[in-house]
Amino acid sequence: MEKLIITAAICGAEVTKEQNPAVPYTVEEIVREARSAVEAGAAIVHLHVRRDDGTPTQDRERFRECIDAIKSKIPDVILIPSTGGAVGMSAEERLQPTELFPEMATLDCGTCNFGDDIFDNTMPMMRIFGKRMLENHIKPEYECFEMGHLDTILTMAKKGEVPGAPMQFNFVLGVPGCTPATVGNLDWMVRQIPAGSTWTVTGIGRHAFPMAAAGIVMGGNVRVGFEDNLYRSRGVLAKSNGELVSKVVRLAKELGREIATPAEARKILGL
């Protein structure tokens, strides 16, 4: 198997300091959490940004400030800015990070229930996102929350509406209202992707580490972080994103997978 690429989703758009005091809001806190994750073994940081009061934002200049600050401390890390933003944001608002020409960015693959909310990703919106990434030479990480999302994005790729091979998928399982986090569901999704693709699995909440273990033994890659899960173990809050990454590293070592550096991850992902 290839080496394991670990992604750290360090803050997300929804989690708060009331839930875990270590959730980062400020630029300095975001840099702190990015460093903790990379020093623990993450090759990629999936990046949302916040205002200092914790309000989620897709503001281009806030992204620029955070990206520059992270790169000044950990220049080799792969950054994947979010174009998902927060529920209720417009496509134009969400696309602002792509104006900074990152090497990768997320592209959400369909509308779905998101707890009590609806995460809106219509076909016209997805075509706009795909066009922007084609124009700006950005490699998408295709975020699939539902099984149907996978067929949707593969069809769009065949039509040239979004970037094609080699494709990178992130299977986000266990969001309330979306595809449950089971090994069977993950196995089905992995079997549908084109040859030569790469994939990552993200388990939400209590599913984070069971899905990480499945991803490790199935030859995929793993995402963890405060965006998806705030706990190191049942009832024990993680003190940093680095703690969550360290747990994945320990699992990988026990299961015989080496950890990819950012340089090795770039080669695996075809960047």
DSSP string, 108-149: E-S-EEETTEEE---HHHHHHHHHHHHHTT-EEEEEESSHHH
Q: Which two tokens stand for residue 137?
A: 């030479």
pLDDT digits (tens, 9 = 90+) for 1-28: 899 999 999 999 999 999 999 999 999 9
Compute the average pLDDT of residues 173-184.
96
Nearest residue to 87 (alpha-carbon basis) of 113, 124, 49, 54: 113
pLDDT tier at 243, thresholds 50, 70, 90: very high
The pLDDT assigned to 114 comes to: 85
Cα 70 from Cα 79, distance rounded (Å): 9
Instruction: Look up residue 245 and give its two tokens.
Output: 């990454």
User: Is the pTM of the predicted complex or chain greater than 0.75?
Assistant: yes
Question: Each residue of 191-219: pLDDT tens digit?
Answer: 999 999 999 999 999 999 999 999 999 99
Class of domain 6-269: alpha beta
What does the pLDDT read at residue 255?
96
Q: Span 231-259, mean pLDDT?
A: 97
- For the cut 90, the answer to whether the pLDDT of residue 87 exceeds it is no
Q: What is the pLDDT confidence band of residue 41, given thresholds at 50, 70 and 90?
A: very high
Q: What is the pLDDT of residues 159-175, one digit of tens each?
A: 999 999 999 999 999 99
Q: Which of 217, 144, 154, 151 is nearest to 181 (CA)?
A: 144
CA distance 26 to 50: 7
